[in-house]
Structure 1
Amino acid sequence: MTEWDVIIIGAGSAGCVLAGRLAEAGKGSTLVIEAGPRDLSPWVHLPIGYGKTFYHPRLNWMYRTTAQPGLDGREIYQPRGKVVGGSSAINAMVYARGQAEDYAEWERLGNPGWGWAEVLAAYRRMEDHALGASAWHGAGGPLHVEDIAAQAHPLTALFVKAAAEAGLVFNPDLNGESCEGAGFYQITTRGGRRESAARAFLHPARRQGRLKLETDMLVTRILFEGRRAIGIEARRGGEAVRYRAKGEIVLAGGAFNTPQLLQLSGIGPAALLARHAIAPVHDLPAVGRHLQDHLCYDHVYRSRLPSLNDALLSWPGRIGMAANYLLLRRGPLSLSVNQGGGFFRTRPELDRPDMQLYFSPLSYERAVPGVRALMKPDRFPGFSLSVSPCRPRSRGHVAIRSPDPLATPEIAPNYLADPDDLRDLLAGARFLRHLAATPTFASLIEDEIRPGPAAINEKAHIEAIRRNAYSVFHPCGTARMGPDPRDAVVDARLRVHGIEGLRIADASIFPTIPSGNINAPAMMVGQRAAELLLST
């Protein structure tokens, strides 16, 4: 049994940051174990290539939820990265840090050190931001954040103009002093290539020989002596291996795999462990509870002007995009399709934005399940507008179905279980109609394809939401941070309650979901975890 000072389970968004920062500090030996392969696929590095990785069984866990009553009994797809870089290697790359009040709430819930001042400082230490160093951004850090305003599709500028006509101020920096308003999203790319957490943090450390990475290795169990975590057991192919931790073990498997591994290892709700005949190590009822996620709802339009559909479908367009990318590392192949957006308040009495807005210069109504939409755009110019409530109230769970580590966990988000979540989506849908009626969009839109003219009242819109709303893949909260072990899994130093030598560093520790895309917050957790480990 090989010994390491720190063993990190999962080379995803947070795990790569943690590993890179520990190696950079040069304190002790670090082993990183990833269930998926190395990030060698060209689709991982080509920014628009996430359309290929979206349903790629070698690079993606391709989870599905249980049937969701709030969404007409549909099972909702949940892609998760199963590759070095994790979900940062297959996501849409939008960089959104959340609102200051999100982290003030984390601190109010009993988590000192996780307020906005500390979190912003951690973000700034990570960043090499295209807008340069300021009170809001870091420069010279490992992670490059690109400003796409000058490169976005021309329709995105029309979206920003229409949003102003609808009452949203233009915001040139959606990660600045305030996220409120509409503008161009910032994305994690560098030099026209995806800037995954692995590329930014892990690979530089590996090149310097400061850590060991094991891939295609599934950790099946954490090993304990009493209530101290002392090692892990894993499989690669048909071979079982064990590694021992002289210092600490850190779980960084994400909101689904982290609670699954805890439960398989005997840490979790006692009744669940007993049901699957798993020997209990510690009864910790919050493991797998408090699952949170963002739902999204689209309106899709046929455009009178060319959209990204035209470029992706025509041979001259494809050749031009390829030449632009190969020669200059610019153009649509270097970007996400989520190019514009912002944040707004659905009710004037609110003290901060409660709704996220997306604009994509692309439509894909003809796409079939199993094929990522942007690989099958519509044969006419089209675009989509989307809304996503920032802070949903519905809560779900993750639970093992069997003691077999190869069995997928039960994922039950309980979307729209809280009626306020449906109220918010309805308000968002009304705003999309308001936005579409602005002079700029009214002259641009030829037809509303979805939900279409039949959705003329609240009842019809509720039916459309239940039929069409989907996850934007921001699961979190299933090993939440808090001071009370009856309702939380880790303390403010990310130590698992009641267990020695075991911490968690990924989106599962979020006490509440941040207001926006969660890849940046997940990487921030990796940064803070490294600082906490290095300070002990």
Structure 2
Amino acid sequence: MRSRYDYVIVGGGSAGSALANRLSADESTTVLVLEAGRSDFIIDPLIHMPAALMFPSGNPLYDWAYETDPEPHMGGRRVPHARGKVLGGSSSINGMIFQRGNAGDYDKWATFDGMEHWDYAHCLPYFKRMETTTAGADAWRGGAGPLKLERGPASSPLFQAFFEATRQAGYAPTDDVNGYRQEGFAPFDRNVYQGSRMSASRAYLRPIRNRKNLDISTLSYATGLRWEGTRVTGVDYQRLGRPRSVEAGEVILCGGAFNTPQLLELSGVGDPEVLRAAGVTPRVELPGVGENLQDHLEVYLQHTSLQPVSISPWLKKWKAPYIGAQWLFANSGVGASNHFEGGGFIRTNDDVAYPNLMFHFLPIAVRYDGTAPEGKHGYQVHIGPMNSDVRGHLHIKDADPSTRPSILFNYLSTENDRREWVEVIRAARHILSQDAFAPFDGGEVSPGPGVETDQEIIDWVAEDAETALHPSCSAKMGTDAMSVVDPSSMRVHGTQGLRVVDASVFPTITNGNIYAPVMMVAEKAADLIAGNTPLRPADVPVYKAGAGMPIYPPGDPRNDAWNTPDSVPSALTAMSTDDEETR
């Protein structure tokens, strides 16, 4: 290792992997990645076998294993939060569901001061650049990127019943939830390729690890930033318990929504009152550090199945050696899928402009910890509001880098959030009660028939809900007083030589899993940091309910006319780009 690098990237997770690849492509630029966790060894089945996704969570070899403070609107429960502590970060332990979010998410970003070039038209080219979708490239999807995506087959009897039930309930299908039309139901894209997890590390780091200008140091935990005035000049870190330091032309924080604001505050960047209370001398006043924290909360609606068509028998421990051998030697079998192969997006009320509810359907009744109804076949949907108005915060407790920060999301704290939760449960029950499930439905086991009134639903959510593992927005981009990061350069306001690129910079959470948006942000940030000419905005239409098109009741066959871009009226081009200079 060198004593000085042009770029030191703190965090070898999703964003850090992409930045290391793009920035080290310039042979004259030296790059160091500091990762607190260990390497994602190719021989490790708990990372690379898709069906093993439940095992790394809670395991200190893979997971930071955070938890919230007692959540006041959830009976004082502490909610566990798994975060990847390994190369690839959370992309090495997540559920491998690839969702970009809605075009409206990014057009909303563009309404914030200074965020004009973060609308959908400007973000879409970076989504396309990062991916190779095996379903085929088109105007909306990429075909030559490092991140290879497979479309779930979703062909089992239970998936077919689910898709038919959504039609019977009045919801239209869509060709691609990441393409022209998000709203509707379809097989999902997954970060799975040839039977193995396609993490950010596998996609971005593994192909370029032999570059002479790139070093990757695992087991290296950043403890603070080195300063000259308001300029960051390096990083202090510990490796195997020994203190070390490295000088840097620039430091890029890629620790995610928890680690990034923690390191900023430990280094004197944040709200002076919070810093002084923790025993840290303020250096740069940024009251937005650690604020605006957002997440998705979710529950499982579970049913038993009357027919033996779920994947429940594969949970039996004696079958594990066979599953492992089939995956190891043939990259096939039940171990080669994450089993979240399909789902969809709907609007639960007329007040929202685009979907506020995402369904993940799973052909088994099981929790993330592997527990399941004893000896029973079953199925479930994972559901929760996507655009909650709940806001939380994260702050350090003291000046010790090893002390876990205080984390509070304030789940269920707003009237609108509680109202949407009732809508979410009723919408999901409506779909699962359709005739398509009649041959299979053995009854709802979670929450069960005892949960029916609005208050009973809220009480059950408070008792049973889990995080969907999408923490974000805790060091947001923008130019207002509570912003932390300059959206035109990714620099931390009031500093030099310090940037942030990860989920913490989102101004608002997107309406889906956040891995794909994080990777898009990293791809776009790489151009901003390197001084490359940004990709030209994309001039493509997207489906937007009510944008110059008639609105029909759910289930009306005339809705199907708007499923494909061939029927797009000219009014929809309001969401595309005519000329970069006009943006």
Shorter-normalised TM range: over 0.9
Q: Distance in 1 between matches of 2:459 and 2:241?
A: 48
Residue in 1 that maps onto 2:245 = 242
1:187 correspondence with 2:181: no
Residue in 1 that maps onto 2:281 = 279
Deviations 1:249-285 (A, max 9, x none): 1000000000000000000110011112212111110
2:483 maps to amino acid = A
Alignment of 1:205-244 (within 5 A): 205-244=208-247
DSSP 3-state at the match of 1:245: strand
DSSP 3-state at the match of 1:235: strand
- CA shift in 2, pair 1:513/1:339, >3 Å: same
1:118 correspondence with 2:158: no
Instruction: Note if contact 1:436-1:442 (Cα within 8 Å) is conserved in structure 2.
Output: no
Alignment of 1:289-438 (within 5 A): 289-306=291-308, 307-313=310-316, 321-322=323-324, 324-326=326-328, 328-364=330-366, 372-374=368-370, 378-438=374-434
Aligned-pair distance for 1:207?
2.8
Aligned-pair distance for 1:459?
2.2
DSSP 3-state at the match of 2:438: helix
1:488 maps to amino acid = S
- CA shift in 2, pair 1:242/1:327, >3 Å: closer
Instruction: Note if contact 1:312-1:377 (Cα within 8 Å) is conserved in structure 2.
Output: no
- CA shift in 2, pair 1:27/1:422, >3 Å: farther
- CA shift in 2, pair 1:275/1:42, >3 Å: same
RMSD over aligned CA atoms reads 1.7
DSSP 3-state at the match of 1:357: strand
Residue in 2 that maps onto 1:4 = 5
Residue in 1 that maps onto 2:70 = 67
Instruction: Note if contact 1:300-1:382 (Cα within 8 Å) is conserved in structure 2.
Output: yes
Q: Distance in 2 between matches of 1:452 and 1:375?
A: 17
Q: Distance in 1 between matches of 2:12 and 2:156?
A: 33
Where does structure 1 lack aligned partners over 5 or more consecutive residues? 366-371
1:259 correspondence with 2:261: yes
- Corresponding residue to 1:496 among 492, 495, 505: 492
1:391 maps to amino acid = N
Residue in 1 that maps onto 2:15 = 14
Instruction: Note if contact 2:8-2:251 (Cα within 8 Å) is conserved in structure 1.
Output: yes
Q: Distance in 1 between matches of 2:400 and 2:263?
A: 11
Which moves more between the two structures, 500-509 or 413-422?
A: 413-422
Instruction: Note if contact 1:142-1:200 (Cα within 8 Å) is conserved in structure 2.
Output: yes
DSSP 3-state at the match of 1:39: coil
Deviations 1:265-308 (A, max 9, x none): 00011001111221211111000000000011221111112211
1:35 correspondence with 2:36: yes
Q: Distance in 1 between matches of 2:215 and 2:21?
A: 11
Which moves more between the two structures, 224-233 or 66-75?
A: 66-75
- Corresponding residue to 1:528 among 521, 524, 531: 524
1:123 maps to amino acid = F
Q: Distance in 2 between matches of 1:441 and 1:395?
A: 37
Aligned-pair distance for 1:172?
2.9
TM-score calculated relative to the size of structure 1: 0.95
1:310 maps to amino acid = P
Q: Distance in 1 between matches of 2:390 and 2:110?
A: 21
DSSP 3-state at the match of 1:290: strand
2:337 maps to amino acid = L
Residue in 1 that maps onto 2:569 = none
- CA shift in 2, pair 1:167/1:314, >3 Å: farther
Aligned-pair distance for 1:27?
4.1
1:25 correspondence with 2:26: yes
Which moves more between the two structures, 59-68 or 300-309?
A: 300-309
Q: Distance in 2 between matches of 1:471 and 1:432?
A: 18
Residue in 1 that maps onto 2:477 = 481
TM-score calculated relative to the size of structure 2: 0.87
Aligned-pair distance for 1:322?
4.6
Instruction: Note if contact 2:268-2:280 (Cα within 8 Å) is conserved in structure 1.
Output: yes
Residue in 2 that maps onto 1:368 = none
Deviations 1:162-185 (A, max 9, x none): 111111212231111011111221
Q: Distance in 2 between matches of 1:400 and 1:67?
A: 16
Residue in 2 that maps onto 1:369 = none
Q: Distance in 1 between matches of 2:333 and 2:100?
A: 25
**Matched residue pairs, number?**
526
DSSP 3-state at the match of 2:287: coil
Deviations 1:106-162 (A, max 9, x none): 111021321111211001010111122211111121000111126x54312221111
1:279 maps to amino acid = T
- CA shift in 2, pair 1:233/1:322, >3 Å: closer
Identity of aligned residues (%): 37
